[in-house]
Amino acid sequence: MLIAVVFAVLLIIGLPIAFVLGATGLTHLLILGNEAFYPVAIQRMFSGINSFSLMAIPFFVLAGELMNRGRVTDKLVDLARECIGHKRGGLAYTAVLVAMFLSAILGSANAVCAILCSVLVPEMVKDKYSPEFSTSLIASSAIIGPIIPPSVTFILYAVLAGTSVNALFMGGIVPGILLGIGYMVVIFLTARKENFPKYKEKLEPSKVVKAVVYALPALIIPLVIVGGILTGIFTPTESGAIACFVAFIAGMFIYKSLKWSDLPKVLLDTGILTSAIMLIIAMGNVLGWTLAIDQIPQLLSSAILAITDNQYIVLVLILFALLIIGMFMEAFASMVIFVPVFAPLALAVGINDVHFGIVFSLMISVALITPPVGMCLFVSSNITGVPLGKLSRSIVPFVVVSFIVVLLIAFIPKLVLFLPEMLL
């Protein structure tokens, strides 16, 4: 009980989540009172990030920074505009398509949200879209990032739960596409109601071809990553390094918008973000270890199984818990603490490990945009200046669609599993 109070108080006062995890773990160690555990705690910090799979994280972060600095994102926006800009609400559709492309490279909701809020929201406002709708659309589209492969979220889940990274990558494709389609349905209905403008009057094939040629280097990156992993040519970690190489060549030598003078800032930003992620994982690993000493995960599992062993009821209970947790905690921190708690429980009631990994990651992502305190809401509100209250109201249709997709994925496992079973 004291551990929960310490955790909640530190979180409420605004301490960075890595230090919240570390301080809570230290408090638990002091309560346990065994001095022999202290050096082991230091070892657990390092062992928690000593993983070949986690090496993919800095590579994908660097690839995203290179694409952003090299204005590769702009080429994707131009291509999507030319392909779908003649439809009413074309710029809104563009935002979703670009988010799906970027997601296949960056794998992070906050990264996609930050980039697209800076690039697309000003353009949408200029085209007479409301700031509230524009920002809510971008924030919602950003959560596709942790679902479409290659996903940093899936890599971390695989390390924590001992699940196949490749299987999670393949299993995330259909849920990501379903989210994109669902958001486009919201755009279609809203566009008719609000009479959204068209970016252009008609489709011009010559301009589409030209846009495809310009965007080809950007399009190659996700194809190479997913194709290489699928065929077994390289691992997810190696695919991250290849993504960095292609993004660097595209920005520096093809588009010529990335300068040598930009590289120190790119590397610094990559180091800062990667360090933050790794610190969360390291501190969370210590807290998870101390909880395991007291057998908290086992006690929680036993308590739930004493009530019911129906896998669907257990899944609903876990989803509800993840929604509450994900609204208040950063996604990586949530995973480090609760994957070791919930994954064994899911396996105990017969839920497939890959299926549960996708459902877990999707629910944590949806929590990022759930009003009033989803993390992506804060990121997008800070960047665009839209008040959090207005943003919370305008994002409701997208949240409803997201919950529908979560339920479909949760209760129809084949939507997740048929690709891994067929291709791996």
Query: How far is CA 138 from its chain centroid?
Result: 13
3-state secondary structure 361-379: HHHHHHHCCCCCCCHHHHH
* C-alpha pair distances (Å), 395 with each of 79, 183, 302, 390, 400: 26, 11, 37, 9, 9
The pLDDT of residue 189 is above 80: yes
3-state secondary structure of 146: coil
- What six digits make up the tokens of 399? 């949240």
**Mean pLDDT, range 411-416, rounded to an integer:** 93
Question: Is residue 12 packed enough to be buried (19+ CB in 10 Å), middle (13-18) or exposed (0-12)?
Answer: exposed
Q: Give the pLDDT score at 363.
A: 92
pLDDT tens column, 40-80: 888 888 887 887 778 888 888 888 788 878 777 777 778 87
pLDDT tens column, 251-302: 888 888 888 999 999 999 888 888 888 888 888 888 888 887 877 777 777 8
What gap in Å lies between CA 272 and CA 320, rounded to an integer? 33
Identity at 119, one-letter amino acid code: V
* C-alpha pair distances (Å), 72 with each of 65, 238, 413: 10, 21, 36
* Number of neighbours of residue 74 by Cβ within 10 angstroms: 18
Q: Give the pLDDT score at 397.
A: 93
What gap in Å lies between CA 315 and CA 319, rounded to an integer? 6
CA-wise closest residue to 183 among 136, 242, 249: 136
Q: Where are the domains of the chain?
A: 2-423
3-state secondary structure of 35: coil
Identity at 233, one-letter amino acid code: I
- pTM: predicted TM-score of the whole model, two decimal places: 0.84
3-state secondary structure of 145: coil
- What six digits make up the tokens of 380? 């997008």
DSSP letter, residue 88: B
Question: Is residue 192 packed enough to be buried (19+ CB in 10 Å), middle (13-18) or exposed (0-12)?
Answer: exposed
pLDDT tens column, 332-375: 778 888 898 899 889 988 999 999 999 999 998 898 888 776 77
* Number of neighbours of residue 301 by Cβ within 10 angstroms: 20
pLDDT tens column, 128-187: 888 899 899 988 888 887 888 777 788 889 988 889 888 998 899 899 899 989 999 999
- What six digits make up the tokens of 130? 């409301």
For 278-293, give one letter per residue: b (16+ CB within 10 A) or e.
bbbbbbbbbbbbbbee
Beta bridge partners of 88: 198
| Cα atoms in the 13 Å half-sphere on the side-chain side of 354 | 21
Could you give phi then psi for residue 15, rounded to 5 degrees? Answer: -65, 140
The pLDDT of residue 106 is above 70: no
Helices 17-32, 263-293: axis angle to 10 degrees equals 30
What gap in Å lies between CA 154 and CA 231, rounded to an integer? 19
The pLDDT of residue 4 is above 80: no
Q: Give the pLDDT score at 357.
A: 95
Could you tell me the end-to-end alpha-carbon distance of the chain, in angstroms, rounded to an integer?
44
- Longest distance between any two alpha carbons in the chain, whole Å: 73
Identity at 62, one-letter amino acid code: L
- What six digits make up the tokens of 357? 């990994």
DSSP letter, residue 15: -
Contact 160, 340 (CB under 8 A): yes
* Number of neighbours of residue 88 by Cβ within 10 angstroms: 16
The pLDDT of residue 115 is above 80: no
**Mean pLDDT, range 393-417, rounded to an integer:** 93
What single string gives the DSSP state of each residue in 170-232? Answer: HHTHHHHHHHHHHHHHHHHHHHHHHTPPBSSSS--HHHHHHHHHHHHHHHHHHHHHHHHHHHT
- The percentage of the chain sitting over the pLDDT mark of 90, rounded to a whole number, equals 15
Contact 358, 175 (CB under 8 A): yes
